[in-house]
Structure 1
């Protein structure tokens, strides 16, 4: 199979397995944390060339589940208010926490917090919209999306 077809197949597999090409996810982290790909590779625990191959579609998957777990952990760290605000100290602390993590992956556990983290979501919503707008949006969504409406309503409440 020629290279172009292999890359296209691998990118299609990434969309199926990861929801989108890994290159898109990695680029968002590089931009969000204002770091190089090589630095991100080090944080994730993967070699820079391997990360480059996964990003370009020359490889379809991240073979080490702990590396994937760290990628997901880092994506979630972007939602931490001080990280989202671009505070360098918070960003570096998040990167170091992920680098130092030693997630173990078994069939019975995932090394990421898969529970609801409403506090972070509420804080993020409060930064981008006024309380009245959040409450009005909650009213509009209540019939079809009650859980989302509840989140918006809580974000619209006084602190």
Structure 2
């Protein structure tokens, strides 16, 4: 099998396993966090050459589930208001949180939400606000935006992730 066909096969596998090529996901993180690919590799706990190989399709997968969990954690942290706004302190804190995380992964648990619909928003909302804050905002917007207020209340009170 030629190198080109290997890369195409690996990229197809990445689409199947991860929803899209890992290079696309990694590039979005590099831009969002304003860091180099090597810095991102260090945050994820993977070597820069290995990350490059995965991004280019020379390798099909990230073999370490903790690295994949950190990648997903960073993707979620892009949604934190300060990070989304480009605040350097918020970006630095998000990167440090992920760098020092020790995700518990195993055959029966990978900290990647399987939630769909509005339930997918709940962990993100809980990450940026406490239940009391979600309730307070829901009360403020109830009259004009009852659907959104309900979402905030459900996020504040649901115990399952």
Q: Which residue of 1 aligns with 2:117?
A: none
Structure 2 distance, partners of 1:37, 1:118, is 25
Normalising by structure 2, what TM-score?
A: 0.73
Structure 1 residues 44, 9: CA separation in 2 closer, same or farther (over 3 Å shift)?
same
Structure 2 distance, partners of 1:88, 1:29, is 14
Any unmatched runs of 5+ in structure 1? 124-130, 139-149
- Offset at residue 120 of structure 1 (A): 6.9
Any unmatched runs of 5+ in structure 2? 115-119, 130-140, 153-161
Q: Which residue of 1 aligns with 2:46?
A: 46
Normalising by structure 1, what TM-score?
A: 0.74
Structure 1 residues 48, 26: CA separation in 2 closer, same or farther (over 3 Å shift)?
same
Q: Size of the alignment, in residue pairs? A: 133
Q: Please list, as runs of the form range in 1=range in 2, the aligned pairs for 1:18-97 lying within 5 A after superposition.
A: 18-97=18-97
Q: CA RMSD in A?
A: 2.6
Q: Does 1:2 align with 2:8?
A: no
Q: Does 1:119 align with 2:125?
A: yes
Structure 2 distance, partners of 1:152, 1:8, is 46
Q: Which residue of 2 aligns with 1:17?
A: 17
Secondary structure, counterpart of 1:117 in structure 2: helix
Preserved contact between residue 76 and residue 124 of structure 2 (Cα < 8 Å): no
Q: Which residue of 1 aligns with 2:138?
A: none
